[in-house]
């Protein structure tokens, strides 16, 4: 069908992926922020626990 846009095609068609981790993370910033906060809290708890055992 003439005039239809079938997207870009080129030499990278064979190596292209249908999914992208970066795109998924960009679509869910609240989930990323929650994961970072949870990781920081776990790291802080581990450090505090380590300091308490070393005293």
Say how far apart CA 39 and CA 45 lie, in whole Å: 10
CB atoms within 10 A of CB 32: 13
Per-residue pLDDT tens for 32-53? Answer: 999 999 999 999 999 999 887 7
Residue with tokens 């920081």, as numbered in its chain: 40
HSE on the CB side for 19, CA within 13 Å? 3
pLDDT in tens, 3-34: 777 777 888 888 888 899 999 999 999 999 99
């Amino acid at each position: 069908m003439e005039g239809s846009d079938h997207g870009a095609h080129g030499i990278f068609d064979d190596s292209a992926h249908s999914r992208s981790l970066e795109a998924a993370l960009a679509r869910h910033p609240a989930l990323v922020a929650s994961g970072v906060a949870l990781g920081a809290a776990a790291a802080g708890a581990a450090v505090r626990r380590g300091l308490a055992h070393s005293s």
